[in-house]
Structure 1
Amino acid sequence: MKKEQYEIGDHHLPVDGLLVVDVQSAFVQGTEAVPGHGELLSMIAVLLAQARSAGAPVIFLQNDGQPGAVDEPFQPGWELHFPPRPGERVVRKAEDDGFEGTDLDGILKASGVRDLAICGVLSEMCVAATARAVLERGYGVLLPHDAHATYDVPAGPGSQGVPAVMAARAAEWSLGDEVRICASARDVRFKVRI
């Protein structure tokens, strides 16, 4: 039986780094943005401020969509919403799993990261696939509930649609007992490096 993984305040161990998954213009701006994108962006901004203040490594994943996709490389929707600062890494990827075909593992090891806070979009796709891959490689994962999001899931044959907030929660649950989940980005603490 799965135990509940929500943790409050300082009761959990601090993390070493922040992984920002696919927070690109196409997904967080305009009429095609994920539901609740304003709150999502404010919580990711909190995480970025906390990580930067602590001197923790910040790594951005940037998805390279197929030609014609909203996140096609070098098109407006592909741009990262939050500009990386000097020393922060951007890892371009073409798969849901941020490790597949990238040097993400080497970057984490070279940075001395063992425990990551993960945020971004889409909850059940790139966020979940990357979180699973992080766990499989022996890193710790902290997933703030209010710092990841997805779209409504449309109805399928013989089923009803699923609202985005429920799809995001189901994505958390699917990660199993190894992932730590906290209610808010405000609960995340980073180990100070400066």
Structure 2
Amino acid sequence: MSTHLQPVEALIVVDVQSAFVSGSGAVPDAVRLVDRTTDLIARARRSGALVIHLQNDGPAGADDEPHTPGWALHHAVESGPTEAVVRKPEDDGFQGTVLERLLTDAGVKSLAICGVMSEMCVQATARTALALGYRVVLPHDAHATQDIPAAPGISERIPAAVVSRVAEWALGSDVEITPHASDVVFQAVPASPVSAP
């Protein structure tokens, strides 16, 4: 784990949507998660870093089905050249989206990732970012998930906090895991980014 981090030029906020942070379907520590993501977004904006909100398009009937209340982003999005929303059809925020183009256009080489769910969309997006050569910072207290229910003959219930820790550990030694979102430092993007369509 690292607490002395070099600045990053982008923040990717993964699926912080109403279905996952409010109501009966919220992750167990949703209040903490929203507090940390709010802080990260505010500091990234002040620094001129690129802020990208990923928004998952769930299937029909899912809590995050497009244009339902649960699909809505929790955080307000500011208009401007350094903030964008990227809708995604898969766990991986890069698959079938313009995410890589936005990062490339802005000259981004390093990024922080936060949001939900740790072992699904957060991990999948971080893994692809690493494979594409980005420096990736993952603040431990700024991603979350649900408990894994007990499975007879397999395991007892696995607490969400354990699932999140395993998810970040499974990313290997290239990811920079930091204990606190407050450890992440931002800097302005080097180029003028192009807004998502």
Q: Is the pair's TM-score, using the shorter chain for normalization, greater than 0.5? A: yes
Matches for 1:109-188 after TM superposition, within 5 Å: 109-158=104-153, 159-188=155-184
Contact 2:14 2:55 in 1 (8 A): yes
Post-superposition CA distance 1:53-77 (Å, at most 9, x none)? 1010000100000000000000000
Structure 1: which amino acid aligns with 2:49? A
**Is 1:106 matched up with 2:101?**
yes
Structure 1: which amino acid aligns with 2:9? D
**Number of residue pairs matched by the alignment:** 187
Shift of 1:156: 2.1
Q: Helix, strand or coil: the match of 1:90?
A: strand
Moved more, 83-92 or 120-129: 83-92
Normalising by the residue count of structure 2, what TM-score does the alignment of the two structures yield? 0.92
Alignment correspondent of 1:46: 39
Alignment correspondent of 1:36: 29
**Is 1:15 matched up with 2:8?**
yes
Normalising by the residue count of structure 1, what TM-score does the alignment of the two structures yield? 0.94
Whole-Å separation in 2 of the counterparts to 1:172 and 1:193:
26
Whole-Å separation in 2 of the counterparts to 1:145 and 1:32:
21
Structure 2: which amino acid aligns with 1:100? Q
Alignment correspondent of 1:80: 73
Structure 1 vs Structure 2 CA RMSD: 1.1
Query: How much identity, in percent, do the aligned residues show?
Result: 56
- Segments of 4+ in structure 1 off by > 2 A? none
Shift of 1:111: 1.1
Shift of 1:193: 5.4
Whole-Å separation in 2 of the counterparts to 1:72 and 1:31:
16
Structure 1: which amino acid aligns with 2:141? D
Q: 1:141 to 1:193 in 2, by over 3 A?
A: closer
Alignment correspondent of 1:3: none
